[in-house]
Every structure is written in C-alpha cells, then in structure tokens.
Amino acid sequence: MKTMNILRACAICTALVSPVLAQTPPDLRGYWAGGYMNGQGGQIDFVLTVVEDVGELKYNASNWGSLGFSICEYVFQIENGIPGKLTRNSGAGTGDCLTEPAFTATRTNAETLTLTFANPEIDLETAELGGVLRPFDPAEAHAPIAGLDILGVAPGMTFDQIDGVLAEKGYARQENRDRPLEYLGFTIDQKAWGKGADSNGNPTDWLFVTFTARKDWAPDEVPVATDVGREWTILEADGISGATMVETLAKKYGPRSNNINENRYYDRSGQVLADAYVCPQGMHQPLRSNYILASEVGEEEISVTCGAILTAYIGTDSATGRASLLKMRLTDPDPVWADFWATWGHDEAKRLKSVYDGVTGATGAAPEL
C-alpha cells in the first residue's frame, strides 16, 4: 500500500509578482512537488516546474519497483495548453531513466496538481503534487476591508496616490531616507515621508512605504505599495495615554489577534483571526517581504494564507502611562505574491528555456570513432 507524503520543497525566495507570465494555462504554472512511499522501503519524489511555455519534470526514485534507484530530469514545451513531448536532460541525474515519460495534468484545487502517467513503470494511478510556488490569481484575491489603512495609505496604492494623500495631511517627502534595494534586473523602492520636528529638526512622525519592483523588462508597469509603516514619537505635549492608543487601534482595526501584542492577522475573507500569533501554514511556501521604519529595516516571511497583516507596538512611560511611541505596519501578501512570481518567474523562465534549447538542440549525428 502506498501512502502519500507531499513534500515541502525549498525554492528560491530572494525577491519578490504581477501576472505578466500568463501565456500558459493557469492550472499548470507553478513549482509543484510531492512524494510517495511504499511498504517495501521504496520512495519516489516528483518536482514539476512550469513557467511561461516551458516545463521541467524531475523524479527521484529510491528502490521504487522497476525504476530502481535513479534521478531523472526532463524538459518539455506547453503545446495547446498541455505538456508536449518530454525530452530527457542527459546531463542531469543518474541511473536508468525512462526514455520518454508522458503524463496528463489536472488542477484538483488551488493548491494541488494531479499527474496521470502513461508509463506503467511509475506504478501509480495518479501522483498528487502540492503547489509550493504558484502565480497569484487576481480572482482569488483576499476580500477588501474598508478603512484598512494607515493615515489613508494602504497596500496596492501607487506612489502618486500616496504622495497626494500624505501631502494633504501635512507630511513632506524625505528623500534622504529613501532606500532603494537593487537586485539583478529590478529595484524595490522604499520611500519616506515625515511630519513634525524634534530638537534636531528631524520629523517626529514618519511614514514609510515599500513598493513592488521596478523591472528592466517591464518598464511601463506602475509599482504599488506592499508594506506601509508608521513610526511616531509621541511628545509629552500631545498628552495621549497608552490606553487611549490601544482603544484607538481597536476602534479602527478591530480586536487584536492575541493578548500578547497589538497585532491583527486578517483571514482571506477579511475577518480578524482570534488566538493567532502567526498566519496559518499553507502549501505555498512563505514569501520574503521587505519593510522599513525610522528605527529599523528588515525582511520578514509572510504567508499567503492570510489577508492583510497589521503589526503594532505602543510604547508607554512606565510612571505615567503616557504613550511615547507608536510603531505599526500594514502588509498585504497579494502584491508581494504577485511581484515574487513576476521576478522569480522571469529568471526561472530564462533558465528553463536555456535548458530546453540546449537539450533539444543537441541533434548532431554521432561522430566516427
């Protein structure tokens, strides 16, 4: 009896997805992985990657029936929405590999792809693979939440929209605190605005926004916000208590998700998760999201199982209970997810195309020896 064990494969997570890679059917695009074990100590693992119109299938068999011990890799094109002929990459893998495997693929649900092989040696009726990486589908966007913003600024807004909102509230651009993040072929901008002044003339109320990537290969795309952060040094003259700040957060953002901090984790339907300290795990691996505040910069993992995420901290004077600091950030996984697929998928498509052209282009006749 064979039991399924979908394997969480680690994939490249360095950057962040707009749905520009939409030439292939949405039921196949992604990085899919899964594995099976049998009662004789055998195991077989699959990895399927499809980006644009090129795909790659890998299987790793260990004491698996007639496949024995082998690591095999194949490349193929998507033809009329289905996988075409699979060609073995003889430069990758070891052992005796199937000469020409063939399969059909169906999308069982948003997170699962099912392969049906024509090769009896696979010895499986179907192989179910989990979507470790998938392109963002706008049809599956989380539900919008009215009023979920910081000072009127929310993820999904463009720079011009944000700058107009903040200018009306008296915030001025602080270009000296902008922080561009340079990657190979794209740039993630982090922009700063400020209001008020301390004894050194620096703003006491900061707002920072991280945007989706500016891409060399898509110059006409308009970046949108992924993370909005505010850091406000609350002066004694403001006379705001910590309790007032807690009540204000609850009134605007709803009940907090736990009794440890002021964070709110919203589910995909727009409701605040109760008794939650993180987003629930899903098949899709967490994504890396950049953020910036006046006192810190960093990168964090976010899960696409959540909707928006609000993190908040209120600092208080221990003697008086007066609020002295507010740090908060609003992050949306959907634009991060979309941007990841666009950037990672762009490079992965080039890699797959290079491998496919190299393998299928090796058509020279055998030389005389």
pLDDT digits (tens, 9 = 90+) for 4-32: 444 334 333 333 333 444 444 547 999 99
Asked whether residue 355 is assigned to any structural domain, the reply reads no
Number of neighbours of residue 132 by Cβ within 10 angstroms: 22
* CB contact at 8 A, 135 and 336: no
Asked whether residue 251 is assigned to any structural domain, the reply reads yes
Q: Which residue, 122, 308, 142, is CA-closest to 227? A: 308
Model confidence over 118-170: pLDDT tens digits? 999 999 999 999 999 999 999 999 999 999 999 999 999 999 999 999 999 99
Q: Which residue, 50, 10, 46, 47, is CA-closest to 26? A: 50
Which residue blocks in 108-197 are alpha helix, DSSP H? 159-168
Three-state SS at 320 = coil
Asked whether residue 228 is assigned to any structural domain, the reply reads yes
42 residue type, one letter: G
Among candidate residues 84, 99, 134, the one where a domain is terminated: 134
Q: Between residues 21 and 260, which one has the greater pLDDT?
A: 260
Residues 261 and 114 in one domain: no
At residue 136's C-alpha, the angle toward residues 130 and 141, to 5°, is 110
User: Residues 304-325: what's their mean pLDDT?
Assistant: 96
Sign of the dihedral defined by the CA atoms of residues 116, 117, 120, 123, in that order: negative
pLDDT at 366: 64
Residues 96 and 171 in one domain: no
35 residue type, one letter: G
Give the CA distances from residue 3 to residues 63, 92, 127, in Å, rounded to whole numbers and listed in that order: 15, 28, 11
Burial of 274 (0-12, 13-18, 19+ CB in 10 A): exposed
287-292 and 297-302 strand pairing: antiparallel
Asked whether residue 366 is assigned to any structural domain, the reply reads no
Question: Where in the sequence is the domain holding 7, given as residue range(s)?
Answer: 3-11+28-134
Which residue blocks in 73-172 are alpha helix, DSSP H? 159-168
* CB contact at 8 A, 120 and 284: no
Three-state SS at 37 = strand
Residues 191 and 89 in one domain: no
170 residue type, one letter: G
351 φ, ψ (degrees, to nearest 5): -65, -50
User: Residues 281-308: what's their mean pLDDT?
Assistant: 96
Alpha-carbon gap, residue 149 to 367, rounded angstroms = 68
Residue 241 has pLDDT above 60, yes or no: yes
pLDDT at 362: 67
Residues 210 and 181 in one domain: yes
Asked whether residue 351 is assigned to any structural domain, the reply reads no
Residues 127 and 222 in one domain: no
Residues 96 and 63 in one domain: yes
Model confidence over 318-362: pLDDT tens digits? 999 999 999 999 999 999 999 999 999 999 999 999 999 999 886
User: Residues 218-222: what's their mean pLDDT?
Assistant: 95
User: Residues 42-70: what's their mean pLDDT?
Assistant: 96
Contacts of 237 (CB under 8 A, 6+ apart): none
Residues 75 and 206 in one domain: no
Q: Name the percent of the chain lying above pLDDT 70.
A: 92
Among candidate residues 134, 167, 191, the one where a domain is terminated: 134
Residues 225 and 270 in one domain: yes
296 residue type, one letter: E
Asked whether residue 362 is assigned to any structural domain, the reply reads no
Residues 111 and 185 in one domain: no
266 φ, ψ (degrees, to nearest 5): -95, 140
Residues 205 and 239 in one domain: yes
Residues 327 and 304 in one domain: yes
pLDDT at 94: 83
Residue with the two structure tokens 């998760």: 273
Residues 87 and 229 in one domain: no
Asked whether residue 369 is assigned to any structural domain, the reply reads no
pLDDT at 322: 97
Tell me how many domains the chain contains. 2
Asked whether residue 20 is assigned to any structural domain, the reply reads no
* CB contact at 8 A, 61 and 67: yes
The model's pTM = 0.88
Alpha-carbon gap, residue 145 to 245, rounded angstroms = 21
Which pairs from 28-31 meet CB under 8 Å and 24+ separation?
Answer: 28/55, 28/78, 28/81, 28/83, 28/105, 28/107, 28/113, 29/134, 29/135, 30/113, 30/131, 30/132, 30/133, 30/134, 30/135, 31/131, 31/132, 31/133, 31/134
Among candidate residues 134, 149, 169, the one where a domain is terminated: 134
Contacts of 361 (CB under 8 A, 6+ apart): none
